[in-house]
Each structure stands twice: as structure tokens, then as C-alpha cells.
Chain A
Amino acid sequence: MSALLTLDRLNVALPEGADRAHALSDVSLEIAANEILCVVGESGSGKSMTANAIMGLLPGGVTLAGGRILFEGRDLAAMSEPEMRALRGAGIAMIFQEPMTALNPLRTIGDQIGEMFVIHTALPRKEIGRRVLALLEEVRIPQPAQAAKAYPHELSGGQRQRAMIAMALALDPKVLIADEPTTALDVTTQAQILTLIRDLQKRKGTAVLFITHDFGVVAEIADRVAVMQHGVVVEHGTAAQVLDDPRHPYTRQLIAAVPPLSAPPPRPLSPEVVLSIAHVTKTFRTGGFLGRGARVTHAVKDVSLTLPRGSTLGIVGESGSGKSTLARCIVRLVSPESGAITLQGRDLLQLDANAMRAERRKVQMVFQDPFASLNPRRKAGELVAQGLVEHGTPRAEALARARELFGLVGLDPLAVDRFPHEFSGGQRQRIGLARALALKPEVLVADEPVSALDVSVQAQVLRLLADLQQRLGLSIVFITHDLRVAAQICDRIAVMKDGEVVEQGLAGAVFGAPQQPYTKALLAAIPGPKIGGPVLIPTAAEAI
């Protein structure tokens, strides 16, 4: 095999005071023309640092500390900055995770793609314009002429990523580095972008270094795979070898933590409905002075759902589907215009502010962002005790209860005196859970509670949630964009699109025999459908 790009025992040193000395230790990789190498790892594995090292764009304080980066026989590590500049974009191009922030908001798409030619070629302006259009057509952007004149904020996320790809491929680079290019996108858009990258790569014979955390994406796109952990490549081989027959325990653990795309056998559901949502509608009006130029967004349109006691209702959908707004309506952070949300026979929407405050303890919420959802200036124990104190429990008693709850969610009860920033992401999510459980709620609303977590941590938190449901008889509304997660934990599933519920039913039925075209499309878009470990959540019988 003739490698186009070779990393030969590459070392990258972190600045003093970092949690480890090396971002990369003896990383050796090879990429040949016309193949896709996926580098997989969790956060902190050094996979993005590998890309930065190749591009010669290491962040301040981070330095190359040995090894070679060979591209077409030349060592990039030893290259001067002007030589390196001539190579960036032309020889090795790169696309990034977040296409909104990766594009300059003040310049048009066409201008930014054209800049590639301005830097590296002497083409006349008119020819550049023609090439930009051809590129935009090649990445299949709708209405390429308009898109060239548009500013980044005027395009959708998927279109922006297409524009980024057009820009990266402008000069037919030998190597394309893609750093989590689909992570910020919805699952259907992700599927389209993956197909596009695969197609263009085949057609042009580009070598692609594809960085991702998602084994589904790996299964979809990789020819070969390298698995990284703490700056070390722990396993590499062909996609088939690594996915079907992983050798390294870390790889096995990672693949086992990926939730399989099939629901466990259904559990019996209680006939008692603890929460029912009937014809709830919420509209947002933004902007507009004296009513002019106002934009109206129908976030939730006439949604009706029921939650049987002790079960989990999954609400799934892509961004903008209204699922998060619906969650906030249930806990009354947002007040819907019409409809009824009935908890144990009482319509919450009819309550005044004081009555609602008293009722709040019955519906609690777990939030998505483990960093933003805890007040950084309060101790963890205080955060958990806060709700109890507010509802009349004496302070000392509430703090004692907080310690018990810490034990319940698998945290050290002595950790109540620490501040949130002293915990890891998964631990913070446990604190958030303890805070919600402190008030012994009837219903727990969980808004993307595991989306910000690495896959192995995600599995632990999901298991905890299922376990607590068993022990406390919790009724859960579980909001997620991740259908794999939904399949594992939910008894019933409601699929939302543009503010409406398009399909609902038992998890097994929705995943096994979807009725609506949108649900089918959503399921078809999930990358690597066959990938996945064993069923995460044991059924009731096994648990006991």
C-alpha cells in the first residue's frame, strides 16, 4: 500500500499544568489515496489534536514534540510556515464540526469559497465565479447561484456544511480532513452529508481522514478505523475487523456502549394515566415594533399525549421539532396558549402563580447541559437541598436528605460540599437527577439528559435512570433526538416534526413497523443500524 499521508510516531506536548503531559503519544497512522480512515475516540482522546497537528494549526502552548508527518514524501513537521501555508487548502484541506461558526458571518458564501482560488491561484475573477458555481452544484446545494450570494446565516445547517465541503474541495486536495463534520447536524441531514462525502471521495480519489465519536458513522463510511484513547492509538485495522471483531478491551467497551437500534420486549403498562396532555399549542412571536415585521413560530401545534404511571414516554424529533418547547410547557417554564396539561386530574394550566409553585414539586426536570444546569456558585449539596428548603423542609434535614440522594444516584455522599465545577459531566448529570428526585416528583421530565455525554458515560446514566424508575416507580417524559437511546429506555414513543406529533405508539411498534413516511425516513437515516451492543436496559424480571 502506498501511503499518501503518514504519521510516524507523532508526539504532541501539552503546556505545563494540563491534566497530562502529552496530547498525542507515538501516534502512527497511514492514509492512502482513495480511502477513508476514521479516527474514533471519546472527548479528550486526542483525535482532533491529530488533525490540528497535520494542518500545523496547533493551539497556543501546544507543541510538536517529535515524530514525522510525511505527505508526498515531505515532512510537514519540519516545513517552514510559508511552505505549510501553500499546502493548506491546496494539498490538505479541512472541514469542521460547526459550519455556522466555521464560516465568516460577514462575507458571502461565494466570496469565501472563491477566496481559495484567490490565495492559491492566479485565476481571473470571472473564472473564479464560474468555478464557485460549479463547486456549489457539485455539492448539490439547491439554487447554487443564490447560495453563492447568501450569507452563512441565510442557509440551513446542512447547506452550510455543503458550502464548507465545496470550499475544502475547491482545489482538489489530495487529503481531506473532516473533524466531526456531521456532529452538529440532524440525523437526516447527517445521512445526506455522509453520502455526499463518500460520493465525492470516490469520484476524486481523495484520501479522507474522518474524525468522529460515533460508531454508527464509522460503520457507515470507514474503509479503515483507528481507535484512540488518551492520545494513544489503541487499535487499528479495516472497518470490518475493528467493528465485527474488536481486539482491544477499550474498543469492545465503546462498541458495547452504543445502544442497539431495537427496543427491548414491551413491559406491561399501568392503566392509570398520571399525566395527560391535550391539544397543547404554543406559538412564539419574535421581533416587530408595534406589530410590524413580527415572525410567528408555531413551536407546538395541537399536541395530545398520555403518560401511564410508572412508564417512560419518549418524545423524539430533530431540532426545531418543538420537543424541547413541549417539555418546557409540561413544567410550566413556558405557558402554552391553549390546551390542558392534567396531572393527577388537575389542569396545571388553570393554576395561578402561587398554586403552580406549590404544584411544581410534582413535576421535575432534568436538563441537557451538565455545565449550564447547575449554579456554579452553590455547593452540590445545597443545589439538591434547595427545592426541599423552598417547600418547607428545615435546612439541616434537607441537607441530610441531599446526602442520601447522593448515594441513591451513585455519588459519594461526602461530595455534597464540593462545587459543580469539581465534578465530571456524568457526575453533574447525576447531581441534576438528585435535585429533581429530591422533591419526590410524580413525573420526571428529562430533556436530552445524555446528549452532552460521551457514549460510555451515557450508558451509565441511562442505566441509572432505568434503575431508579424501577425502584421509585417514576413516570418519565424523555426528550431526545437520538433514536437509539429512545429505543432503549422508552415504553411509548411519540415522533414530533414541525410542532406536531406525526406518529406515536409502543416503542417496539414504532421502531419495528413505522407507519408514517417521516418516521421511516428518520429510522433509515440512522448511521450503522447494525452497530450496537447488547440491549442496555434489562427488563423488569432480570433487574430483580
Chain B
Amino acid sequence: MRLLSLVGRRLAASIPTLLLILIGLFLLLQFAPGDTVDAMMAQMGGGDAATAKSLREFYGLDLSVSAQLGNYLWRLARFDLGFSSIYGKPVLTVIAERLPATLLLMGAALSFAFFFGLVFGVIAARGVNKWPDTLISTLGLIFYATPSFWFGLMAIVVFSIYLQWLPAGGLEDITVMQTGLWRTLDIARHLILPTLTLGLIYLAIYLRIMRASMLEVLNLDFVRTARAKGLDDTRVVIKHVLRNALLPMVTLIGLQAGTMLGGSVVVESVFSLPGLGRLAYESVVQRDLNTLLGIVFASALVVIAVNLAVDIAYARLDPRITTGV
């Protein structure tokens, strides 16, 4: 019941946010030189002014900005994202084809970063200012400073070109038809480098937050109580510190869902993955604004969904979260 009302409230609160984004972007795109029709005409190899005019009328581009905005929002409400002139398909279809690869990549990178960030953060905090802590913290700083696309390129040089252990790009090997488990394993093999590349900076962030959070919780009064009860250090950490220290980490996932999705643009380009990020890049290069807008809408939905999941996880971890706040 507590969770249900939390979910309802969060969803209701995200509607104005979503509206704000869509209206903002729509108005922003009014500044863009050239519209969909220009892009189509370019695709068709040019055309006369009359064709352009009739096409504009057909797409409602001759209406006032506010009327266009109204139309646009109404279409969005029905999940009609329009037509991509570049791909010759509805935008929704194009996005649906590309979304799974991105979600897979994000999920993998997030799990990788969260798990190892947690482990290394705990190790660093338990030996604070000793050599494991120094080593982990230094590596964290270096990972944080590494540009992901560059790390990806260097990983390709080492693991794909010289060692030839892992594929340099793509989501799966398309030269051989594979099914079932073999296909899954093949995709996993293809995702190792992209996951490391995307996850590296988040690994650095999570381990730093986890370390700081552990150190803070270790100083709290209830940890002293636990020691006074006769618990040994390991049990103090597992039974009392860990869950409390996890709370900021969980919050961070929600805050960074958007950044991570943005990061996938670059990573997908480096590894030629057929995902949403690369689609975004392509539509910018080809000035396919309809598709770009659709992608932004889809990503906003993804971010909202991730945040909802994070809120639920947080509420399960922390009994102090009530429906009132």
C-alpha cells in the first residue's frame, strides 16, 4: 500500500516534468535551420517550392507554432512519434528496434559499476588510509578522468587488434546464424568491452561515494552501540553499516540514469552498436529532427522509469520513507 501510493505519486509528479521537457524541446527545435520537409526534400534529391508547400500543409507545418505544439503533444499522447524521412519508417518503429541494445548496455554497465563500486568502496573504507585504500582511491581517480571513448578505442587496440580476444564492435556476429544459448553468449562477448567502457566512470563514482558513505556511517552512534553489544567488526559492517551506507548509492543511480544514457551515445558509436545512442548521433548528423525528438522523448521515459525503480528500492531499504513526503 505504501509502495503503491509512492509509485502513483511519483508517476503523477513526472508528468509536468515530461511536459516541460517536450514543450521546451519543441520550441527549441523551432530555432533549427530547416524542418522535416527540408530534410525530406534533400533526401529526395531536391524538389520545387510547390511540392514543399503541399508537404508542409500535409504535415501541418504551415500552422502557428502553438497549434503545431498542440498537435505534437496530442500525437505524443497517442505514442505517435511521427515518421522518419531518413529511415523511411515510423519513428516509433525505428526506436523500438534500437532500444533493446541500449537497455542491455545500460543494465550491464550499471550492474558492473554498482557491484564493483560497492565491493571496492567497502574494502577501501575498511582499510582507510592503508595501501588498499590508497590503491583503490587512486585507480578511482584515474578511471574518473579517463574519457570513455578513448578507453574504448584503446581497449579495441589491445583486446581486439593485438590480442584478438574480443570483437571490436557490433552486437553479435552476423556472419553465422546462431540461436539460443550460443547467441546469448555471443552477445555477451560483444558487450564486454562496451560495458567496461561505459561503466568505468560510474565505477569510479560509486566506489568514491560508497567509501565516503561507509566512513560516515561508521562514525554514527548506532555503530558504537553495536560494538558495545559485542559484535565483531565484520558483523558490524554487514549487519549495521552496509544497508545504511547503501542509501546514497541508490540515490545516485537515479540521478545519473540520464548521464549514463548520454554516455551510451559515445560508446555505441565507438563499438558500432545498433542502439538508441547511435541513432541519436545519426539523426543529428542527418538532421532528422523528428527522430531526434522521438529519441529524447523515449530517453526521458527511460530515465523516469529508472528513477521510479530507484524510489521503490529506496523505500524498501529505508522504513523512514513515508507516503507523506
Contacts and interface: CB of A to CB of B under 8 A. Distances in A.
A292 B25 CA distance: 32
Contacts of A79: none
A143 interface: no
Interface stretch (A112-120, A324-332, A466-474): A112-120
A102 B230 contact: no
Given A106-B317, A151-B320, A98 B229 contact: no
Interface in B1-17: 5, 9, 12-13
B230 A87 contact: yes
B229 A96 contact: no
A102 B317 contact: no
A153 to B, nearest CB: 5
Nearest to A286: B324
Nearest to B325: A287
A104 interface: yes
Interface in A101-128: 101-107, 115-116, 119-120
Nearest to B241: A104
Contact of B324 (A57, A88, A93, A295): A295
Most buried by B among A55, A289, A290: A289
B224 A119 contact: no
Contacts of A287: 322, 324-325
B272 interface: no
B224 A85 contact: no
Given A88-B229, A89-B229, A120-B230, A96 B240 contact: no
Nearest to B317: A106
Contacts of B48: none
Contact of B244 (A90, A104, A288): A104
Nearest to B225: A102
Interface residues of A, number: 36
Interface string B192-234: 0000000000000000000000000000111011111111100
A294 B324 CA distance: 6
A119 B225 contact: no
A289 B229 contact: no
Nearest to B319: A151
Nearest to B13: A289
A98 B324 contact: no
Contacts of B5: 293
A102 B222 contact: yes
Contacts of A288: 324
Given A115-B231, A289-B12, A293-B324, 15 more contacts: A82-B232, A96-B224, A102-B222, A102-B224, A103-B225, A104-B222, A104-B244, A105-B318, A106-B318, A115-B239, A116-B229, A164-B225, A287-B324, A290-B12, A295-B324
19 contacts: A57-B227, A85-B230, A85-B231, A86-B230, A88-B229, A89-B228, A89-B229, A101-B221, A101-B222, A102-B221, A104-B222, A104-B244, A106-B318, A116-B229, A164-B225, A289-B12, A289-B13, A293-B323, A295-B324
The 7 closest A-B pairs by CB, nearest first: A287-B324, A88-B230, A89-B230, A101-B221, A89-B229, A94-B228, A104-B222
Interface of B: 5, 9, 12-13, 220-222, 224-232, 235, 239-240, 243-244, 317-320, 322-325
